Amino acid sequence: MSSPSSSRTMRAVQYDKYGGGAEGLKHVEVPVPSPKKGELLVRVEAASINPLDWRFQKGVGRPFLPSKFPFTPVCELAGEVVELGARVSGFRPGDKIIAVNFPGSGGLAEYAVVSASNAALRLPEVSAVQGACIPIAAATALMALRTAGVGLDAGDGPAKNVLVTAASGGVGTFAVQLASLAGHHHVTATCGARNLDLVRGLGADEVLDYGTSEGTALRGPSGRKHDAVVHCAEGFPWSAFKPVLADKGGVVVDLTPRIASVAVAVLHWLCFSKKRLVPLIESPKKQDMDALMGLVVQGKIRAVVDSRYPLSRAHEGWAKSMSGHATGKIIVDMVEEAE
């Protein structure tokens, strides 16, 4: 029997130049890729669109990323292993996995190759949709809390006042749940008026509407100052955070670092500042993916899913992500379409 990658073609969604947004995406039939050394060929069940995917298309990594056109976007996915490249251990055909494929991407297709080192076996109780939200969104939330010194267990460091901005987004919904897990931290969150109840339901103690003066001031009625900030929103200068950080010191983990914020962060680092901005770019860790899947299985966290699209309507999910108004994660769901 021939392997899936030997001669077959597959449906994929690609773009062939920078820019163009959802209209720049093309539905194409292309060869199934072949796994190279250390890679897995995966039949994609669900892929999750992240803002980084369309920022690549906009040219944020120009001229290095994407490395070539046409390019099949989307890095975060869940699927089934169908073929192993050379020197892969720990996986077998038929294994269900979750993976992040950065910067190679390839998730908007029926098959994708991923590095085995960036994949984790999916627990049977974790659905493809839930699994596809873990490698970037949930793992980034976990890493941001860790970087800010926020322990997930009551015995894991002191209780902190934690602020999560854009708490209704893909990362923020996980950050609020993780920070609220043990119940000892006080979690303040910002989101739009329509999501106040959702975010409160995820465990936030105080929820601020970003359209109000409290929301823009990043400080709730309790008046608490923050020890740790998971900053998922955009457009806040350092001066917005400084007055709302704890006097003894506080850390703002910036998930969308720009040149100006990196310069501020370097200054803080050089000056040993008590109040610090820390830029963070997630690098996936298998043990984090495993731990997060465990929390999903225990019912302690869940992916909030904004919307699901079959591959034939992936451009609609792309446009929704680009709007900046998703509530939770946007899924492109290959299996649903095949059923």
Ligand X SMILES: NC(=O)c1ccc[n+]([C@@H]2O[C@H](COP(=O)([O-])OP(=O)(O)OC[C@H]3O[C@@H](n4cnc5c(N)ncnc54)[C@H](OP(=O)(O)O)[C@@H]3O)[C@@H](O)[C@H]2O)c1
Complex with ligand X: residue 71 or 210, whichever CB lies closer: 210
CA–CA distance, 103 with 186 (Å, rounded to integer): 35
Closest CA to 44 of 2, 88, 99, 84: 99
CA–CA distance, 229 with 162 (Å, rounded to integer): 6
Contact 258, 274 (CB under 8 A): no
The count of residues interacting with ligand X (CB under 6 A) is 32
DSSP symbols for 193-250:
GGGHHHHHHTT-SEEEETTSHHHHHT--TT-PPBSEEEE-SS---HHHHGGGB-TT-E
Q: Which stretch binds ligand X (CB under 6 A): 7-15, 176-184, 191-199, 265-273?
A: 191-199
Footprint (CB under 6 A) of ligand X, residues 238-257: 255-256
295 binds ligand X (CB under 6 A): no
SS3 label, residue 35: coil
Complex with ligand X: residue 5 or 130, whichever CB lies closer: 130
CA–CA distance, 154 with 282 (Å, rounded to integer): 25
- Binding marks (x or -) toward ligand X, 90..119, rule CB under 6 A? ------------------------------
- Report residue 113 as tokens: 């190759």
Binding ligand X (rule: CB under 6 A), the pick from 35, 51, 79, 107 is 51
171 binds ligand X (CB under 6 A): yes
190 binds ligand X (CB under 6 A): yes
326 binds ligand X (CB under 6 A): yes
50 binds ligand X (CB under 6 A): yes
Peptide bond into 33 cis (omega under 30): no
Shortest Cβ 47–ligand X spacing (Å):
14
79 binds ligand X (CB under 6 A): no
Identity at 230, one-letter amino acid code: V
- Binding marks (x or -) toward ligand X, 131..150, rule CB under 6 A? -----xx--x----------
C-alpha distances (whole Å) from 173 to each of 214, 248, 280, 293, 323 are: 20, 28, 18, 16, 18
Closest CA to 261 of 287, 233, 291: 233
Q: Which stretch binds ligand X (CB under 6 A): 15-23, 116-124, 149-157, 231-239?
A: 231-239
CA–CA distance, 325 with 55 (Å, rounded to integer): 15
Complex with ligand X: residue 25 or 233, whichever CB lies closer: 233
Shortest Cβ 118–ligand X spacing (Å):
14
281 binds ligand X (CB under 6 A): yes
Shortest Cβ 159–ligand X spacing (Å):
24
Contact 195, 328 (CB under 8 A): no
Complex with ligand X: residue 192 or 310, whichever CB lies closer: 192
* Contact residues for ligand X, defined by CB under 6 A: 50-52, 136-137, 140, 165-166, 168-172, 190-192, 194-195, 210, 232-234, 255-256, 280-282, 321, 324-327
